[in-house]
Amino acid sequence: MTPSSKKLLVMGWDAADWGIIDALMAKGGMPNLRSIIAKGVRCPLKTLEPRLSPLLWSTVATGKGPDMHGILNFVEPKPDCSGIRVVQSTTRKTKALWNIFSQNHLRTHVVGWYASHPAEPINGVIVSNLLHEKVDLTQTDPHAEKLLPGTVHPAELNDIIESLIVHQHELRPEHIQQWLPRYREVPTSDDHLIKGLTQKLSYAMSVAQIGEWLLQHQDWDVSMLFFDAIDTMGHEFMSFRAPKMKHVSDKQFSLFSGVMDAVYAWHDDILGRLLSHVHDDTAIVILSDHGFHHGNNRPVTQHLSPEKRMEMEASWHRNYGIWVASGPNLQVTESAVAMSLLDVAPTLLAICGLPAGKDMPGKVISEWFAEGQIPERVETWEHQAEKDGLHPADLQTDPLQQVATLKQLIDLGYLAALPKNSAEQIDLVERESRYNLAGFLSFSKKYDQAAELYELLWKKSAQILRYGVGWAQALLASGQTEEAELAASEVLKSHPTAVELILLLATCARSKRKTTDATRLVEQAERIVGQKSDHLANVAQAWLNLGEINRASDCCRKILIKPEDDPKWMVLLSKIYLAQGSFEAAADKALDALDVSQAIPEAHFVLGAALAWLGQIEDALTCLHFALNLEPQHIEARRFVEIIEHRSSPSEFPTIFDEYAAQNPYSSDAFLHHTTHRA
Ligand SMILES: [Zn+2]
């Protein structure tokens, strides 16, 4: 019998970010989280694309990507096409952890998880994420509210759960002051901020109260509690945090700059309260689905139209979330681990002594377990099992499929046309859900499928540039250079200033060794971009790829607000330094990137290359092998290793590189070639 934790408590903190947590801990804050870290493990948790919370938390819960679990958006069309609704548990196509735990006789509680409505009939308690949606029974008494049917399983707990819910109108000043100490001074012009804050606070307090009650009063083996406030509050209040952003007034800054830190501190308090109800042998996991920009990289969206702003909201989300865990069968290790969101479910199963399915693409983080503690994988958990708590098959739906069927009936004249408004809504939701799916397919390198989907979207809505960009980029990534060029040219006809596509054409020209064309295209892109930061880094990267180190470096200099805390930016700079022969600076920048995450192969590679040039051959090899472990296809890293292993005298490197570059003028990044001439 595999030893495993007696109990597991999981807290989801949507959008929690190490940048803020580490700053708070350095000042003595977040004591409860600190106590878990002290006896457990911590690491950055790499997110998936697209960075949308319902998709990501469904991946956490299933161990599968959106292409397999089917949760593609915040909302979905109603089955009868009368409008849209919040995405439902019946749309999920695969089992969630709570189903797997339930069928393995682990009594499981789930509160507030994305896409958990209607609550599934598992062995345990589910309170769905629609716990604040209410059915108004009477118009006259605004306080007479009932839970939406399906919010609670088992239904006999309805009344007690309802009594634990904190309604907005029940909040007292001392509650609001937890997040906003000087809330009485807030001018009426900022009333909407207070309204948003009280709504999010009351929801968070409800989840906390319900979670705490369940831990105390209901037997359990696993509890999974989900808090969305760090994300939802972040979208409204992160721009007020220090350092002060330009568009924020002094008054607003003095009132609101502490809100986000207070929200984090509140989460730590709740963690402390929950910990007081669990035994020492309980495994504790705290995680987030992505991080959140909080420094110089915060997007400025205030001046944008509402639609554009909505599109931009996901750009607040940083690549790395948090993972903290402690438990009797988790061993602390010094070695760096690269963990992705797909690894969460297999690792949580292992903590409970259960095997992952072979159909889960992620891995168990084996560094944290003793020999023989990770159970052999089973084929799949998807077979029907007693007590898995899945909704009956006739409740399961595929909203996109249903819409297609209904539309066919309408086209055939069997059904009256949909009202214009809901028809437009449904059309938008349908398109964006497919766009999200295409984004994930690209991210998981299924470029052919992604290109097909993007093309479909582009042909349908040619006014939306990102569909066309996705199409051309997926074609290029799948190796179909000709098709990518054709697609890019088609899209550029209606969007002539699309920088992404001009740069894509430059890449195509470069791969065909048409350097003059490539140079002209990158120049064109640089002219269009002007001073706008968002594309300058891409232009710099394009210059770097062409071996134009000085132009790359000039381009970086033009960026007014440097994305200092973005590892992609650090890697770009480190590559420029490497190409310029500033090996120490290159190594420093690469190390900065590795500070953010150990899981960036390019950073390990640049560090390895820089160290090789500095004559630190042993360390260089270690770094290069790290890069290759993470990305076995990393051509430059492999070549560096070969070069070093075959002739290890640094004095020979310049000749070797020259020979090498002469033989392969375009097959590797041109900066490598340039590096040789610098030395
Ligand atoms: Zn999120």
The domain 7-390: what is its CATH number? Answer: 3.40.720.10
Kindly report which listed range (24-33, 174-183, 253-262, 541-550) carries the lowest average pLDDT score: 541-550
Is 279 in a helix, a strand, or coil? coil
Mean pLDDT of 189-209: 93
Question: Which helix (DSSP H) or strand (DSSP E) does residue 206 occupy?
Answer: helix 191-217
**In the chain, what percentage of residues exceed pLDDT 90?**
57
The per-residue pLDDT for 406 is 64
More confident residue, 511 or 227: 227
The per-residue pLDDT for 612 is 83
Ligand 1 geometric centre to CA of 226 (Å) = 11
Every domain of the chain with CATH number 1.25.40 lies at 584-679
pLDDT tens string 418-472: 666 778 888 888 999 999 999 999 999 999 999 999 999 999 998 899 999 999 9
- Given a contact cutoff of 8 angstroms between Cβ atoms, the answer to whether 113 and 224 are in contact is yes
Ligand 1 geometric centre to CA of 595 (Å) = 22
Residue 201 main-chain phi, psi, to 5 deg? -65, -45
Closest CA to 583 of 613, 605, 608, 556: 613
Ligand 1 geometric centre to CA of 14 (Å) = 5
How many Cβ atoms from other residues are within 10 Å of residue 209's Cβ? 18
Kindly report which listed range (115-129, 238-252, 289-303, 452-466) carries the lowest average pLDDT score: 289-303
Band (pLDDT 50/70/90 cuts) for residue 64 is very high
- Given a contact cutoff of 8 angstroms between Cβ atoms, the answer to whether 557 and 529 are in contact is no
C-alpha span between 168 and 165 (Å, rounded): 10
Band (pLDDT 50/70/90 cuts) for residue 147 is confident
The per-residue pLDDT for 207 is 97
C-alpha span between 545 and 527 (Å, rounded): 18
Every domain of the chain with CATH number 3.40.720.10 lies at 7-390
Ligand 1 geometric centre to CA of 616 (Å) = 41
Residue 246 main-chain phi, psi, to 5 deg? -55, -45
Predicted structure pTM score:
0.86
- Given a contact cutoff of 8 angstroms between Cβ atoms, the answer to whether 91 and 78 are in contact is no
How many Cβ atoms from other residues are within 10 Å of residue 629's Cβ? 13
Phi-psi region of 540 (alpha: psi -120 to 50; beta: other; left: phi over 0): alpha
Ligand 1 geometric centre to CA of 467 (Å) = 23
Mean pLDDT of 186-201: 90
Ligand 1 geometric centre to CA of 292 (Å) = 9
Phi-psi region of 354 (alpha: psi -120 to 50; beta: other; left: phi over 0): beta
CATH class of 584-679: mainly alpha
Ligand 1 geometric centre to CA of 15 (Å) = 5
pLDDT tens string 511-549: 888 999 999 999 999 999 886 667 888 899 899 888 888
pLDDT tens string 589-641: 999 888 877 778 899 999 998 888 887 888 988 999 999 988 888 888 888 88
C-alpha span between 375 and 222 (Å, rounded): 18
The per-residue pLDDT for 647 is 60
Contacts 24+ apart (CB under 8 A), 572-577: 572/537, 572/540, 572/541, 572/544, 574/603, 574/606, 574/607, 574/610, 575/544, 575/602, 575/606, 575/671, 576/540, 576/544, 576/549, 576/552, 577/610
Is 10 in a helix, a strand, or coil? strand
Ligand 1 geometric centre to CA of 73 (Å) = 12
Ligand 1 geometric centre to CA of 52 (Å) = 6
The per-residue pLDDT for 80 is 80
More confident residue, 489 or 642: 489
pLDDT at 155 over 60: yes
Ion ligand 1, residue ranges at CB < 5 A? 14-15, 53, 231, 289
Cα angle at 10 between 237 and 157, to 5 degrees?
Answer: 95
pLDDT at 3 over 60: no
The per-residue pLDDT for 660 is 46
pLDDT tens string 562-595: 666 678 888 888 988 888 878 899 999 999 888 8
